[in-house]
């Protein structure tokens, strides 16, 4: 089956990201596909390339990136939730006259419509929240 995950917890504050990453590995191990991870609410903080966790703790941003590389999983970040939280990419930075950016490929800023569409293109959506 083709899965999508909705992640809504900040990465170093709540367990939601950890649970979602473990669930991702397990579903792949069972032969399913992980098509999309959609980040909403404080989940958008998972996309920050500026996150600098201690060396002896899991690097969650890196773990998401690896999912994309190895499985082709789309990493979609709700743009409305992200902008107010300072999770902006180069294009939004330019548009709002900010120097620097927090999001880069393979994370993509996108609209909520993509979350709605998940149900037509995936078999299961599982939500991980704080």
Partner 1 sequence: MLVMLRHSPHGSSWLREGLDVALVGAALGRKVHVLFLGDGVQALIAGQTSGPLGQKGTHPTLDMLEMYDIDTLLVDGESLAQRGLTIDDLQLPVSLVDAASLPRVLAEHSPIYSF
Partner 2 sequence: MLLHILNRSPASSRVPFDALRAMGDNDRLLLLEDGVYGAVAPLAETFASIRGRIFVLKEDLVSRGLEHRQAETMELVDMQGFVALTEQATQTVSWY
Residues of the shown chain interacting with a copy of itself in the complex, contacts defined by CB under 8 A: 10-13, 41-42, 45, 48-54, 57, 83-88, 92-93, 96, 98-102
Taking the complex as a whole, the smallest distance from the CB of residue 51 to a copy of itself amounts, in Å, to 4
Q: Answer yes or no: are the C-beta atoms of 26 and 67 closer than 8 Å.
A: no
83 binds partner 1 (CB under 8 A): no
Q: Please identify, among the stretches 26-34, 46-54, 63-71, 73-81, the one whose residues bind partner 2 according to the rule CB under 8 A.
A: 26-34
Active site residue 78: yes
CA distance readout (Å), 54 to 59, 62, 68, 86, 102: 8, 13, 23, 22, 19
Residue bearing tokens 């500026």: 50
């Amino acid at each position: 089956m083709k899965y999508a995950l909705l992640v809504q917890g900040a990465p170093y504050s709540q367990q939601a990201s950890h649970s979602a990453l473990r669930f991702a590995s397990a579903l792949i191990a069972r032969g399913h596909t992980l098509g999309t991870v959609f980040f909403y609410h404080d989940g958008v903080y998972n996309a920050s390339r500026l996150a600098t966790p201690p060396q002896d703790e899991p690097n969650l941003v890196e773990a998401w990136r690896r999912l994309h590389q190895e499985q082709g999983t789309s990493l979609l970040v709700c743009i409305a939730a992200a902008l107010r939280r300072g999770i902006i990419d180069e294009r939004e930075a330019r548009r709002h006259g900010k120097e620097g950016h927090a999001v880069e490929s393979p994370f993509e800023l996108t609209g909520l419509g993509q979350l709605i569409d998940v149900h037509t293109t995936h078999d299961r959506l599982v939500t991980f929240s704080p």
